Chains A and B, each alone.
Chain A
Amino acid sequence: MTAFSPRTDMLEAEPAVHLLPPRLDVSGLTKRFGGLVAVKDLSISIAPGEILGLIGPNGSGKSTAMKLIMGIEKPDAGVVRLDGTDLAGLPTHQIARAGIGIVFQHSRPLHRQTVLENIKLALLPDRLTRIFASRAIHDRAREIAERVGLGAVMQRRPGSLPFADLRRLELARAIARDPRVVLVDEPFAGLTAPELRSFSALIDDFRREGRAVLLVDHNVKGVSALVDRVVAMYLGEKIAEGSAGEVMRDPTVRRVYLGGSLETHVRDSAALQAAPVLLDVDAVSVFYGKAQALETVSLHVREGEFVSVVGLNGAGKSTLFNAISGLVRSTGAISWAGRNLAGLTPAAIARSGIVQCPETRELFGALSVQENLDLGGQHQPVSQTRDRLAWLFELFPILKSRRTQAARTLSGGEQQMLAIARALMMNPRLLILDEPTLGLAPVILEQLSLALGRLRETTPITVLLGEQNVTFALPHADRVYVLEQARIVWEGDPARFAAEAGAAYL
Chain B
Amino acid sequence: MTLRTPWRTLVLGAIIVALGFLPLAASAYVLSVLTVAYYFAVYAMSWDLLFGFAGEVNFGPTFLIGLGAYAAGLLNNEGVPLWLCVIAGGVAALAGGVLLAVPALRLRGPYFGLVTLVAVLVLQQIVVIFASVTGGEIGLSVADVLSIDPGPNYWYAYGFMLVCGAILVTLSRSALGLILQASGQDAVEAAALGFNVAKHKMAAFCISAVFSGLAGGMVVFYMGTVSVDSVLDIAVGVQVIIAAVLGGRRTIVGAAFGAVFLILADELLRPLGQLNTFLVAAVALVTILFFPDGFMGLLARPGART
Q: Which residues of A contact B (CB under 8 A)?
A: 70-72, 91-93, 96-97, 101-102, 104, 107-108, 110, 112-113, 117, 120-122, 124, 126, 128, 130-133, 157, 173, 177
B175 with A117: CB separation less than 8 A: no
A177 with B193: CB separation less than 8 A: yes
Contact with A along B157-188 (1 / 0, CB 8 A): 00000000000001100111011011001101
A284 to B36, CA, bound (A): 60
B194 with A93: CB separation less than 8 A: yes
Q: Which residues of A contact B178 (CB under 8 A)?
A: 110, 113, 117, 120-121, 124
A173 to B175, CA, bound (A): 15
B175 with A130: CB separation less than 8 A: yes
Q: Which residues of B contact A121 (CB under 8 A)?
A: 178-179, 182, 193
Contact with A along B174-216 (1 / 0, CB 8 A): 1110110110011011111111110110010000000000000
Knowing that A93-B194, A126-B194, A128-B203 are A-B contacts, what are 9 other residue pairs whose CB atoms are under 8 Å apart, sorted by A's residue number?
A: A102-B192, A110-B181, A121-B178, A121-B179, A124-B175, A124-B179, A128-B200, A131-B175, A177-B193
A177 to B190, CA, bound (A): 12
Indicate the member of B181, B195, B203, B250 with the most A CB atoms within 10 Å.
Answer: B195
A112 to B181, CA, bound (A): 10
List 22 A-B pairs, Cβ < 8 Å: A71-B191, A92-B192, A93-B190, A93-B195, A93-B196, A93-B197, A96-B191, A97-B194, A102-B192, A110-B182, A122-B193, A124-B179, A126-B179, A126-B199, A128-B176, A128-B199, A128-B200, A130-B176, A131-B171, A132-B174, A157-B304, A173-B193
A93 to B185, CA, bound (A): 16
Q: Which residues of B contact A92 (CB under 8 A)?
A: 188, 191-192
A108 with B175: CB separation less than 8 A: no
On whether A96 and B192 interact (CB within 8 A), knowing A128-B203, A130-B176, A132-B175, the answer reads yes
Across the two chains, which residue of chain A brings its CB closest to B203?
A128
Indicate the member of B175, B188, B194, B250 with the most A CB atoms within 10 Å.
Answer: B194
Distance in angstroms from B273 CB to nearest chain A CB is 41
B185 with A110: CB separation less than 8 A: yes
A337 to B271, CA, bound (A): 65
A110 to B197, CA, bound (A): 16
B176 with A131: CB separation less than 8 A: yes
- CB-CB nearest 6 A-B residue pairs: A92-B191, A96-B194, A131-B174, A93-B191, A108-B186, A97-B194
Distance in angstroms from B189 CB to nearest chain A CB is 6
Partner of B196, one of A72, A101, A108, A126: A126
A120 to B174, CA, bound (A): 11
A113 to B180, CA, bound (A): 13
A450 to B181, CA, bound (A): 53
A322 to B170, CA, bound (A): 47
Q: Which residues of B contact A173 (CB under 8 A)?
A: 193
Distance in angstroms from A317 CB to nearest chain B CB is 27
On whether A70 and B176 interact (CB within 8 A), knowing A110-B181, A121-B182, the answer reads no
Across the two chains, which residue of chain B brings its CB closest to A137?
B175
Distance in angstroms from A137 CB to nearest chain B CB is 8
Distance in angstroms from A90 CB to nearest chain B CB is 11
A72 to B190, CA, bound (A): 11
On whether A108 and B176 interact (CB within 8 A), knowing A96-B194, A177-B194, the answer reads no
A104 with B189: CB separation less than 8 A: yes
Indicate the member of B170, B179, B199, B203 with the most A CB atoms within 10 Å.
Answer: B179
A130 to B178, CA, bound (A): 11
A158 to B181, CA, bound (A): 15
Q: Which residues of B contact A177 (CB under 8 A)?
A: 193-194
Q: Which residues of A contact B182 (CB under 8 A)?
A: 110, 121
Q: Which residues of B contact A117 (CB under 8 A)?
A: 178
Q: Which residues of A contact B175 (CB under 8 A)?
A: 124, 130-133
A104 with B192: CB separation less than 8 A: yes
Across the two chains, which residue of chain A brings its CB closest to B178?
A121
